[in-house]
A and B are shown apart, each in its own frame.
Chain A
Amino acid sequence: MRKFLLAVMACLLAYVGYAQQKTIRGTVTSSEDGAAAPGVNVFVKGTTNGTTTDVSGNFTLEIDEGQNTLIFSFIGFKTVEMEIGSRTVLDIQLEPNVTELSEVIVVGYGTQIKQDLTGNVASVSGKDIQNIPVPSFDQAMQGRAAGVFIESGNGKLGQGIKVRVRGAASVSASNEPLYVVDGIIVTTDNLSSTDAPTNPLANINSNDIESMEILKDAAAASIYGSRAANGVVLITTKRGKAGKTTFNINYLKGFSSPTRTAKWLKGAQYYDAFKEAFDNTDAILQRDEGADFGSYMYDEPGMTFDDVLDTELGDWSRNANENWADNAYRDDAGIDQFDISASGGTDKTRFFTSLQISDQTGILIKDRYKKISGRANLDHQATEKLSLGINFSLSRSINNRLSDDNEFTTPMQLLALPPIQPAYNEDGTLNKNTVYFNGLISAANSTNETTVLRNISNLFAVYKFTPNLTFRSEFGIDILNQNEERWSGREVDSQTGYINGGAFSAWKNVLNYSTNNYFSFNKLFNGHNVEAIAGMSFQKTERDETTASAQTFPNDAFRVLNNASVITDVGGTPTDYSFLSYFSRVNYKFSNKYLLSLSGRIDGSSKFGKDNRYGFFPAASAGWIISQEQFAEAFRNTISFLKMRGSIGLTGNAPTQNFAALGLYSASTYDVQGGIYPSQLANPDLKWETTLQIDFGIDFGLFNDRITGEIDYYIKNTSDVLLNRNVPGITGYLTQFVNIGEIENKGFEFVLNSQNVIGNFSWSTSFNFARNRNKIVNLDNNVIEGGILNRAVEGQPIGVFYGIEYAGVDPENGDALFYVNDPENASDETTNAYNNAFRTVIGNPNPDFIGGLTNTFSYKGFDLNILFQFVYGNDVYNAAGKFQRANFTYFDNQLVEDYEKAWREPGDVTDVPESRLFLENGSQESSRFLQDASYVRLKNLTFGYNFPKTMIRRASLESLRLYVSAQNLLTFTKYDLNDPEVNTDYLAGNIGQGNDFYAAPQIKTISFGVSLGF
């Protein structure tokens, strides 16, 4: 500030001090469109004598006789130096300087130039996620936006994806961001009828996306009020440009395989390993009980190991060597995708249309996702003042789904079966006599198909009252229709509970309609620039659903619900909710240097308790573009852009449940009579969660913006946390929705973009890094559990693992040891009696930091893009460890590693206890199954060649590109099961994080594509 004052003083002195002056006049225009360029800095080189251009681009400057060079500079344009010579009139055109900083960024209800932002917005270009072979665009965003943590729970197609913008701030409400497509808030409700969520966003064609903006801080997000606390993702689809109609066709074919897989025992090895476990147990029993294995376990003395196998396993053979993993993974996994788009138009009417057909087969048997989607975006200039348009999209997907990870019928559970049990009998039929259900029987005798039909469309009109004042009205609909059909034949009855086959059908329809109506005003006068919006929005979501299940089919050829003889259940919970909102924002810019923004939203919702119907969410932010100051001229060769900004504001998070505030009675049935029962405690005060977020940031550009970057520090304090708090069970209820408690997220984000080499050969780098610290400050002493060992508890990050701490193996006798961890009496004491140990915090599923590094190279027609993505410091708990790494307690196949490393004789130092059939020895839930799951992944590698125009013009083509692209090509991690990016579907939630339980590894896809434009 002092420097600034000095500069002002210097200006004044300069003005007063000199007498021998001449006056220079001129007009500055933009070379792009010839329009006047207001606000351009004009000053005399080497001095502080200067001025700025007015609204018409005119300037007048008194200069001293000896001064001979003028410098014209303006953000977004290249700086020009001009000799004055003898001229007194200087008209000049500035060329735009296209850099990161001059990009137009979509913000809530408007756009802004990036360098004018006072809030924090991460932007991902649609180009970056083109043709990435994943079902949904959110997966494609992984590693590309700072502070946005994206995790797909496993390698099943079409599943729910976890997205956390600057950490999790809620225990019982959603932690997912709000999604807005072309101004319309879209439905993201999970409509799955199973515990494994589906992803409604998968129906949006990522190749239609022009840009994605993630609004992270309060200044950017609070315009979305009570739904913005988890960040807001704005998706803008492509629009047509006036000119010749251009067509683009793209085809890609990809081949998929699992990223990483564990090594399991093979047939003979399995037999030996379990024989050893049997012998170990037998020896222990003879020693301690005076009884042999058979008499102790079965009251049948003298049983051999083979007798035990006969009793426990069913059909087995010493010669069998079944590779169950081969039965679970398919080798023809991959993707076929075809895209065609056309865009163009006239000055008055422009259009963009596209069609995509894709067919992806997953790495697990029966997993498939097929999609067809179309779009038409139309803009029309009706009169000089009125323009209107429509965005229309329609898509249909068919997902052949798998059972949840905790079911015997899911392919990954085949890996639990012993290799000495063949999958097929000698006659080619499936072996029904396996120790656990043979999931291949289900694969052959069931279908599970989810069909989604989705239409996201909106109509809009913009009326320009004056050049400064416009009114925009939008009406949007989002119709999401999901139909789940499951059939299972009689062979699967033991798993489904049906008698002679059964079927399930769930039909769900979500109609979400909304309208946004707002005025936009902007005015520029004497260096003051004011942009303002004010308006209202209304949104209502109406959800209808009917589910039915029935059983007993005549035979397996009949598979639909109405072929079944007995209806076993009819359900469905139709429900509605609505939001009514008023919002406004004022951005003020003075002299292109000083930025100020105020915004606010009032949100009313049917979801809030009747005593708290409306909430107010204000935000304020300010920025100072230091590099525009004249004193910064001295550093301009190095620091071409420098801005400091800060923001503070409130955002909210509405309850997920629509009627969480009401005391309710529900209907039930006993025999064939109708009953009622109290089902929910009331809370008329129930409201949104409130997040107070403070953000400080620095945006910079170096060396004429060759290097640009952002540094942010933020603190998010969430209070009135929506908590489904435990109430004593003796009340007849388990929980009550309350606003209680506080959660803090604070962190640091760093973004750097650099054009390392420019020219024929070019190389650019983009790096982002984010660290977030989550802490539950106060939960009113509630402990909320989730997952297997996860919990939300005060003083810890959300979802910490709480359990018994494994202490390794007693070298003397091979017993598993556990730390006692007596909270009353801290010590390093260990015990071999699991029940004598106390639970403690043993790990954290939240990463310490995340980020991504993209390097892009191009040379002539070749281009190479390499994205590394990393997640560091999170733990994953293998909840199936108690079966898969259970020291041969039972007959589940075990990891080779555990067989090799098991304790065998006194003095052995290992962390794998002695194997003991039927005796628990370290197989209990403990930190033994918890691992650091940090990873670095070569997320995407694309190598392409664009044929020279001269060559392809002969074929009447505008462009021709061949490319090869690899997704998840390499993964570096210490996690030793499958893929470290995992969260088993049936346990996933706010608290249930970082659990592996027969979860499918992620998908590695190598695809080959061709694009042509004409």
Chain B
Amino acid sequence: MNTYKIFFLFACIVLLQVRCADELKIEPQTDVTEEVALDNEEAVQSLLVGAYDLLGDDDVYGGWIQMTSDLLGTNNDINWGGTFTDPDDLWLKVTTSANGQVEVTWTETYEVINVANTILANLGVVADDERARIEGEAKFIRGMLYFELIRLFGKDWTDGDPTTNLGVPLKLTPTNLVYAPEENFIGRSTVAQVYAQAISDLTAAEELLPEENGFFATTWAAKAVLARVYLQQQNYKEASLKASEVIESGNYALVDRVDRAFNQAFNSSEDVFSIQITNQDGENAFQTFYASRDFNGRRDIRVRGNYVNLFEQNDDRLKLLLYEDGTSGRILSGKYKDQFANVSVIRLAEMYLIRAEGNLMSGEQTGPNTPSEDLQVIRSRAHASDAPANPTITDIYLERKRELGFEGHFLHDVHRSKTNITQNANNTENGYFEWNHNMLVLPIPQREVDANPSLQGQQNPGYGI
């Protein structure tokens, strides 16, 4: 009897072991392993959607790429008044290489670039009719982001020699999930090399992308970004050309009232490219930091009198796009009130201003309008007084500030126009910064220098080693 019982017990235990050993293979439920993720066209298309989602991250185009530019490039236009110290340091021009916001802007941007690289490496499973579009969108995203990185982390194109000034690392292949560290220890390319990569990607995108593509990138969006790139290089002729192509495409039209270009749940008629935000997805970081408490914002970025005084009394951009916070009396930008509104990355209005600047500076006329006429388009929409008949470059920069304020252009305009800026409240530098001051170029994040030996010794000047 005992023998039988023991035998039975052991049989049970042996069976249990076999059963249990199987139980050691457990797959995740909410994620998919690499082997099954990218084996078909649908997956690559999903990856592209994933890339847009990351592109809209609050640390990328969801706001911080643009706000970083504005906080650095403000010429007593805005004050930072929030408790977050990372943006405060950017605003005060006392950024260190440990700045957390700078770090995530870098890492999150490269995260999108890696997805774009992954798409480009997996085009093989995509059918011919979709391949051009998918490739074009991936290159659009990559080219546009390298342009943003080089504008923030490298010296301006016109500051010294771009062929020797350091830019950012060019990572153009996807990172293998089975990670090999050495392949990814890439040092900084030159400013010129990064610009060349951006132009190459965007030019390819311009060719590959369709004219219509919902709210995703189109050939017009690629041209619009190229217009920005050429403008920043002071390649005025090409800048006007690309801007004019967008304007003259007939695909876009300025909205009738300037405030209707903002706080929109869907793209407006003047959005050339924007980040989609819904009440379930996406983060509009502009809204978080600009909006008053009544709109659930933190109202950390306040508009200073200097900026308000740029406008005539009747200017809609004063009347409709600046407002007083009910509780504190602070002046805030009305461009960001609705937390679920899309984030406009490129508006048609900017194309008019690029064409005006390009034509004025090149002395040639691309498109039907003179610089004065292009300015007039913008000013009359805002019900401001007429544009000067012979605008100067200063007029154009002022108009850019009025029209495009708080949309991420301050720093780049300061660089391009070589405007020295004043930052009151910074008592260590007496508040005065030359246009090409070290603090107007972001540091390479310390985390990156620590993790990537190739970056050691490549820190931007003014940020230690």
Chain A residues with CB under 8 Å of B445's CB are 729
* Binding-face segment, B66-74, B277-285, B312-320: B277-285
Q: Are A494 and B13 in contact, with the CB atoms below 8 A?
A: no
Contact residues, A676-726 vs B (CB, 8 A) = 676-684, 726
The 6 closest A-B pairs by CB, nearest first: A732-B114, A675-B49, A663-B177, A675-B50, A729-B107, A677-B50
**Known A289-B430, A497-B339, A834-B94; contact A606-B280, beta-carbon cutoff 8 A:** no
Q: Are A297 and B424 in contact, with the CB atoms below 8 A?
A: yes
**Known A499-B296, A671-B276; contact A580-B24, beta-carbon cutoff 8 A:** yes
Q: Are A730 and B448 in contact, with the CB atoms below 8 A?
A: yes
Q: How far is the CB of A847 from chain B (nearest CB, A)?
A: 27
Q: How far is the CB of A428 from chain B (nearest CB, A)?
A: 19
**Known A289-B431, A669-B281, A670-B50; contact A731-B110, beta-carbon cutoff 8 A:** yes
Contact residues, A409-448 vs B (CB, 8 A) = 432-433, 436-437
Instruction: State whether the Cβ of B169 lies closer than 8 Å to any Cβ in chain A.
Output: yes
Q: How far is the CB of A731 from chain B (nearest CB, A)?
A: 4
Contact residues, B437-464 vs A (CB, 8 A) = 445, 447-448, 450-452, 455, 464
Q: Are A578 and B23 in contact, with the CB atoms below 8 A?
A: yes
**Known A298-B305, A312-B328, A569-B280; contact A574-B175, beta-carbon cutoff 8 A:** no
Q: Are B115 and A732 in contact, with the CB atoms below 8 A?
A: yes
Q: Are A568 and B279 in contact, with the CB atoms below 8 A?
A: yes
Task: Determine the distance from Cα of A570 to Cα of B98 in the docked complex, in whole angstroms.
Answer: 34
Q: How far is the CB of A928 from chain B (nearest CB, A)?
A: 15
**Known A311-B329, A732-B114; contact A669-B280, beta-carbon cutoff 8 A:** yes
Per-residue CB contact flags for chain A residues 567-580 toward chain B (1 = under 8 Å, else 0) read 11110011111101
Using a CB–CB cutoff of 8 Å, the interface residues on chain A facing chain B are 284, 288-289, 296-300, 310-312, 314, 432-433, 436-437, 465, 471, 493-494, 496-499, 515, 517, 536, 538, 540, 551, 566-570, 573-578, 580, 604-606, 613, 658-659, 662-684, 726-734, 736, 781-783, 785, 833-835, 838-839, 882-883, 918-920, 925
Per-residue CB contact flags for chain B residues 193-212 toward chain A (1 = under 8 Å, else 0) read 00000000000000000000
Q: Are B451 and A664 in contact, with the CB atoms below 8 A?
A: no
What are 11 A-B residue pairs whose CB atoms fall within 8 Å in the complex? A288-B427, A494-B293, A517-B13, A606-B26, A675-B48, A676-B46, A676-B47, A682-B34, A727-B451, A729-B445, A731-B110
Known: A499-B339, A665-B33, A729-B448. 15 other contacts (CB 8 A): A299-B304, A311-B330, A494-B293, A578-B26, A580-B17, A674-B46, A675-B47, A680-B177, A727-B451, A729-B110, A731-B110, A731-B184, A734-B107, A835-B428, A838-B464
Instruction: State whether the Cβ of B30 lies closer than 8 Å to any Cβ in chain A.
Output: yes
**Known A578-B23, A729-B106; contact A883-B94, beta-carbon cutoff 8 A:** no
Using a CB–CB cutoff of 8 Å, the interface residues on chain B facing chain A are 2, 6, 9, 13, 16-17, 20-21, 23-26, 28-34, 37-38, 43, 46-54, 56, 76, 83, 85, 94, 96, 98, 103, 106-107, 110-115, 117-118, 169, 171, 174-175, 177-179, 181, 184-186, 215, 276, 278-282, 288, 293-294, 296-298, 304-306, 327-330, 339, 424-425, 427-428, 430-431, 445, 447-448, 450-452, 455, 464
Candidates B37, B76, B171; contact of A665 at CB < 8 Å? B37
Chain A residues with CB under 8 Å of B34's CB are 662-665, 678, 682
Q: Are A676 and B50 in contact, with the CB atoms below 8 A?
A: yes
Q: How far is the CB of A739 from chain B (nearest CB, A)?
A: 14
Task: Determine the distance from Cα of A500 to Cα of B416 in the docked complex, in whole angstroms.
Answer: 44
Task: Determine the distance from Cα of A732 to Cα of B179 in the docked complex, in whole angstroms.
Answer: 12
Chain B residues with CB under 8 Å of A567's CB are 280
Chain B residues with CB under 8 Å of A517's CB are 13, 16
Q: How far is the CB of B309 from chain A (nearest CB, A)?
A: 8
Task: Determine the distance from Cα of A816 to Cα of B107 in the docked complex, in whole angstroms.
Answer: 34
Q: Are A730 and B43 in contact, with the CB atoms below 8 A?
A: no
Candidates A300, A433, A670, A785; contact of B56 at CB < 8 Å? A670
With both beta carbons as reference points, the residue of chain A lying nearest to B276 in the complex is identified as A671
Q: Are B32 and A664 in contact, with the CB atoms below 8 A?
A: yes
Candidates A312, A576, A782, A882; contact of B85 at CB < 8 Å? A882
**Known A471-B9, A730-B186, A838-B464; contact A680-B26, beta-carbon cutoff 8 A:** no
Q: Are B31 and A678 in contact, with the CB atoms below 8 A?
A: no
Chain A residues with CB under 8 Å of B339's CB are 497, 499
Q: Which of A300, A517, A676, A785 has the most chain B CB within a 10 Å cutoff? A: A676
Q: Are A732 and B111 in contact, with the CB atoms below 8 A?
A: yes
Q: Are B296 and A497 in contact, with the CB atoms below 8 A?
A: yes
Q: Are A536 and B17 in contact, with the CB atoms below 8 A?
A: yes
Task: Determine the distance from Cα of A676 to Cα of B455 in the docked complex, in whole angstroms.
Answer: 30
Candidates B94, B279, B428, B448; contact of A566 at CB < 8 Å? B279
Q: How far is the CB of A286 from chain B (nearest CB, A)?
A: 13
Chain A residues with CB under 8 Å of B215's CB are 671
Chain B residues with CB under 8 Å of A570's CB are 280
Q: Are B424 and A663 in contact, with the CB atoms below 8 A?
A: no
Candidates B24, B32, B278; contact of A605 at CB < 8 Å? B24
Chain A residues with CB under 8 Å of B51's CB are 675, 677
